[in-house]
Amino acid sequence: MEAENSEVAALVEKITGLHAAISKLPSLSPSPEVDALFTELVAACVPSSPVDVTKLGPEAQEMRQDLIRLCSAAEGLLEAHYSDMLTALDNPLDHLGRFPYFDNYINLSKLEHDLLSGHVAAPAHVAFIGSGPLPFSSLFLATYHLPDTRFDNYDRCSVANGRARKLVGAADEGVRARMAFHTAEVADLTAELGAYDVVFLAALVGMTSEEKADAIAHLGKHMADGAVLVARSAHGARAFLYPVVELDDIGRGGFQVLAVHHPAGDEVFNSFIVARKVKISQEMSA
């Protein structure tokens, strides 16, 4: 236990130092200095760790919340940069591997599909909430795993959607015709949520535990009974990079947890939870 506590203390000290350095950056747009600091941060957070972020002290909790905010801003700028760079090239989809976390998205989409397919038949209609300017998740699912599925991608930023639409415009007609982009906050989606067989909730939709719980409760209120939610989360030290989805919040939102996956290696960064929306009568009798 003493060794474990020392390991956690050393990790928190290292991440606190990286947070301080990142906070002093004049800009979070991609640059050698920005890239180096975030590469070091990811390297510190990806290995398996005994840290439980819920047990951190108030100062460390505050640092973690601000670090997640910084990571979200930097990720958005990174994706916007690469989306613009790729669409400026001939045949943009031939160059997707230039994105530094390309392999993570390839592996994540396969893992999510494999786990999802054990609980639901090939969905006809999928929503991806928080798709961003570089919609790799839905693009890879549509291209490699769900060839007949229609995808509605939602993001609160119209500029991000414009970038995503332009990139996907370079895809084959069979993929392009099945991908739509809409500008909306998750809280603004109501009746349309009832049309989806599966809803993906991106890791950075809901930056705090309260916001994440509110988003899940909203989805549970409006998704169809029997529809499936795939919520991306974080585990261990990776919770310094992304918010954690609490299983209790999944249950309170009206969902039954079907599977939870925590990646062990560095091929995938995010954990994810697969859960089914239960009927009101089932929920009350459970």
Nearest C-alpha neighbor of 213 from the set 260, 257, 247: 247
Instruction: Report residue 280's pLDDT band, with 50, 70 and 90 as the boundaries.
Output: low
Asked whether residue 197 carries a pLDDT value surpassing 80, the answer given is yes
Report the C-alpha gap between 60 and 46 in whole angstroms. 18
Hey, what long-range contacts does 100-108 have (CB within 8 A, 24 or more apart)? Answer: 100/35, 101/269, 102/136, 103/267, 104/267, 104/268, 104/269, 105/136, 105/137, 105/140, 106/140, 107/267, 107/268, 108/137, 108/268, 108/269, 108/270, 108/272
**60: phi > 0 → left, psi -120 to 50 → alpha, else beta; which?**
alpha
End-to-end C-alpha distance for the chain, whole angstroms: 37
Rounded CA separation 202/197 (Å)? 17
Nearest to 231 by CA among 275, 170, 285: 275
Q: What is the CATH number of domain 1-285?
A: 3.40.50.150
Question: Where are the domains positioned within the chain?
Answer: 1-285
Q: What is the mean pLDDT of residues 250-271?
A: 92
| Mean pLDDT within 241-257 | 97
- Answer whether 18's CB lies under 8 Å from 40's CB: yes
This prediction's pTM: 0.94
Q: Residue 255 pairs with which residues in a beta bridge?
A: 277
Strands of the 228-233 sheet, one edge to the other: 179-183, 150-155, 125-129, 198-201, 228-233, 271-277, 255-261
User: Could you tell me which of 83, 136, 164 has the C-alpha nearest to residue 269?
Assistant: 136
**pLDDT value of position 59:** 96
Compute CA 78 distance to the chain's CA centroid, rounded to the nearest angstrom: 15
pLDDT in tens, 50-90: 999 999 999 999 999 999 999 999 999 999 999 999 999 99
Report the distance separating Cα 229 and Cα 55, nearest Å: 28
Residues 6+ apart with CB under 8 A from 117: none
Tell me whether residue 249 is exposed, middle or buried, using C-beta atoms within 10 angstroms of its C-beta: 0 to 12, 13 to 18, 19 or more. buried
Is pLDDT of 284 > 50?
A: no
Please provide the size of the chain in residues.
286
Positive or negative, the CA dihedral 141, 160, 205, 223 is negative
The angle at the Cα of 42, spanning 66 to 137, to the nearest 5 degrees, equals 90
Query: What's the confidence (pLDDT) of residue 281?
Result: 53
> Residue 244's closest CA among 92, 115, 68, 63?
68
Question: Does position 285 have pLDDT exceeding 50, yes or no?
Answer: no
1-51 confidence digits (pLDDT tens): 666 788 999 999 999 999 999 999 999 999 999 999 999 999 999 998 999
